[in-house]
Structure 1
Amino acid sequence: MRETPWTISGRCSRPISRRDALRYAAALSAMAGVGAAAAGAPTASAAAPTLIDFAMKQIPAQDIKAAGHAGVINYVSTSRPGSNFGAKPITLPYAQSLAAAGLVIVSNYQYGKPGGTAPSDFTRGLAGGVADARTAWRLHTAAGGARNAPIYFSVDDDIDRHAWNTLALPWFRGINSVLGAQRTGVYGGIRTCQWAAADGVIGRSRTPGKVWAWQTRSWSQGQIYPAAVLYQRIIDTASNPGPVVGGIRVDVNDVLAQDCGQWNLHP
């Protein structure tokens, strides 16, 4: 990897040092071929390495490896009122077991949801973004999360541009005020990912041309945002169950960049 500067939200960041470059190369060996699946048609990404996301319980590392997945996207948020998800939040012992098995970890925050016992997080405005970022950072670091790794924040709804401008964008500004844009990522449909990148509220991957966008197939009209680093291709629903790993059904995400925000690349 060349030692060239890279830019974050229009501002120049530090050049990648030789030490960082060597660490980056070593970490990539655990996910060989991650960069082979460039963003394109959803069918083209099927051969990409995959990460699973789930909330019901902590799935043993050996079961994740046996199913052929490269790692997990795990929550740095707690369960909503009235629920008790065993994988929310990720814990230090569980994270250590995953790392010991050679699996990678990516952090995601989601507390509320549409129609849930807590409202969608993105509706909570600037102050809500500040509070959510503080909670996410506390749980991320308590589990051993890398200090320079991004945390993805979920917009788990089909919002329009007005809702983005008036609700989600102020929420992300609040998140940025705590974490900085470079440590902020977004989960959502294609338009949400594009708006977040255009408004400079998410950071950039070390993979050229990629940003911290975890795109879901939902609300994406069969398209993949070329700058996305993750694509949620399989979404577990009652009518369309996801694959079973460790006794529970999971969502499956294609890795579209060598650097998708995994902890071991961002100490």
Structure 2
Amino acid sequence: MPISRRDALRYATAASAMAGLGAATGAFAPPAAAAGSTLIDFAMRQIPAQDIRAAGHAGVINYVSTSRPGSSFGAKPITLPYARSLAAAGLAIVSNFQYGKPGGTAPSDFTRGFPGGVADARTAWQLHTAAGGGQSAPIYFSVDDDVDRETWNNVVLPWFRGINSVIGELRTGIYGGIRACQWAVADGVIGRSSTPGRVWAWQTRSWSGGQIYPGAVLYQRIIDTASNPGPVVGGIRVDVNDVLAADVGQWSLHP
């Protein structure tokens, strides 16, 4: 897909900043070594930055959404003081929105169509900026279900169009299985990383048949469940995500 001169300049600036970040903090190495880095995601409570570093992770994917009715997750949403503590420790921060879920006390966000996408994007952007998130940083929106093409076309896609109408495609990302990531790219509802060939796709191992989408920037390799617990960091179990690109949408690259 062609890019504008403005985008080309922004991507070149981001690449330069990426090199500086890797040298200064060690949070991300240059692209050749980026695949060895990991980010964790979690909702139960805020994990101290020193515990994340001690566990060997490069940063977090944290929520810019609130808790569902009947729940009270301490890490939803990310707060400005917590974000500052992570940044001070040289940890990367990436934004994700998920309020509802299948079988939860609120339905999956993507079932709410275009108007739901508008509302979710407004909420996500407000919480993202309140916590210090970068003005050009993407927000990943969750498709936490095994959707088929018909559901994508008739239900999920209108939701993403609503999101795009608020924050634009360049700042929109997707969390989902491999097919959802591919469809998001084909329909032009997510943006591109400054890493060549990569897009704002955070792919989960679920519903992916052991395949990794070549354009993904993040891959959720370990998913914490009751039957397959994730590793413990700071006293709670977490999901672990492989970093597949130098630019995964971390705030420090997208001021």
> What TM-score, normalized to structure 2?
0.95
Residue 80 of structure 1 corresponds to 68
Q: What is the aligned counterpart of 2:18 among 20, 24, 32?
A: 24
Pairing of 1:69-218 with structure 2 (within 5 A): 69-218=57-206
How far apart, CA to CA, are the structure 1 residues paired with 2:48 and 2:210?
A: 32
Residue 42 of structure 1 corresponds to none
Letter in 1 for 2:29: G
> What secondary structure, in the 3-state scheme, does the structure 2 residue paired with 1:31 have?
coil
How far apart, CA to CA, are the structure 1 residues paired with 2:252 and 2:20?
A: 9
How far apart, CA to CA, are the structure 1 residues paired with 2:30 and 2:103?
A: 36
Q: Give 5+ residue unaligned stretches, structure 1.
A: 1-6, 39-44
- When residues 198 and 37 of structure 1 are mapped into structure 2, their CA distance, relative to the original with a 3 A threshold, is farther
Q: Give 5+ residue unaligned stretches, structure 2.
A: none
TM-superposition CA deviations, 1:235-267 (whole Å, max 9, x none): 000000000000000000000000000000001
Letter in 1 for 2:253: L
Tell whether the 8 Å contact from 1:75 to 1:88 is kept in structure 2 after alignment: yes
How much has 1:13 moved relative to structure 2? 5.2
How much has 1:19 moved relative to structure 2? 5.3
How far apart, CA to CA, are the structure 1 residues paired with 2:63 and 2:172?
A: 14
How far apart, CA to CA, are the structure 2 residues paired with 1:122 and 1:183?
A: 17
Residue 49 of structure 1 corresponds to 37
Residue 36 of structure 1 corresponds to 32
Letter in 2 for 1:245: V
> What TM-score, normalized to structure 1?
0.90
Tell whether the 8 Å contact from 2:15 to 2:194 is kept in structure 1 after alignment: no
> What secondary structure, in the 3-state scheme, does the structure 1 residue paired with 2:126 have?
helix
> What secondary structure, in the 3-state scheme, does the structure 2 residue paired with 1:214 have?
strand
- Give the aligned CA root-mean-square deviation in angstroms: 1.5
How far apart, CA to CA, are the structure 2 residues paired with 1:34 and 1:115?
A: 41
How much has 1:34 moved relative to structure 2? 5.5
Residue 226 of structure 2 corresponds to 238
How far apart, CA to CA, are the structure 2 residues paired with 1:197 and 1:211?
A: 8
How much has 1:173 moved relative to structure 2? 0.3
- When residues 20 and 152 of structure 1 are mapped into structure 2, their CA distance, relative to the original with a 3 A threshold, is closer
- When residues 78 and 202 of structure 1 are mapped into structure 2, their CA distance, relative to the original with a 3 A threshold, is same
Letter in 2 for 1:174: G
TM-superposition CA deviations, 1:102-157 (whole Å, max 9, x none): 00000000000000000000000000000000000000000000010000000000
How much has 1:20 moved relative to structure 2? 4.9
Identity of aligned pairs, percent? 77
How far apart, CA to CA, are the structure 2 residues paired with 1:34 and 1:118?
A: 40
How many correspondences in the alignment?
Answer: 251
TM-superposition CA deviations, 1:176-200 (whole Å, max 9, x none): 0000000000000000000001100
How far apart, CA to CA, are the structure 1 residues paired with 2:3 and 2:14?
A: 20
- When residues 134 and 60 of structure 1 are mapped into structure 2, their CA distance, relative to the original with a 3 A threshold, is same
Tell whether the 8 Å contact from 1:34 to 1:256 is kept in structure 2 after alignment: no
Letter in 2 for 1:229: V
How much has 1:27 moved relative to structure 2? 2.2
Tell whether the 8 Å contact from 1:56 to 1:86 is kept in structure 2 after alignment: yes
Residue 3 of structure 1 corresponds to none
> What secondary structure, in the 3-state scheme, does the structure 1 residue paired with 2:9 have?
coil
Tell whether the 8 Å contact from 2:136 to 2:254 is kept in structure 1 after alignment: yes
How far apart, CA to CA, are the structure 2 residues paired with 1:216 and 1:77?
A: 19
Tell whether the 8 Å contact from 2:28 to 2:58 is kept in structure 1 after alignment: no
Tell whether the 8 Å contact from 2:19 to 2:30 is kept in structure 1 after alignment: no
How far apart, CA to CA, are the structure 2 residues paired with 1:28 and 1:124?
A: 40
Tell whether the 8 Å contact from 2:61 to 2:93 is kept in structure 1 after alignment: yes
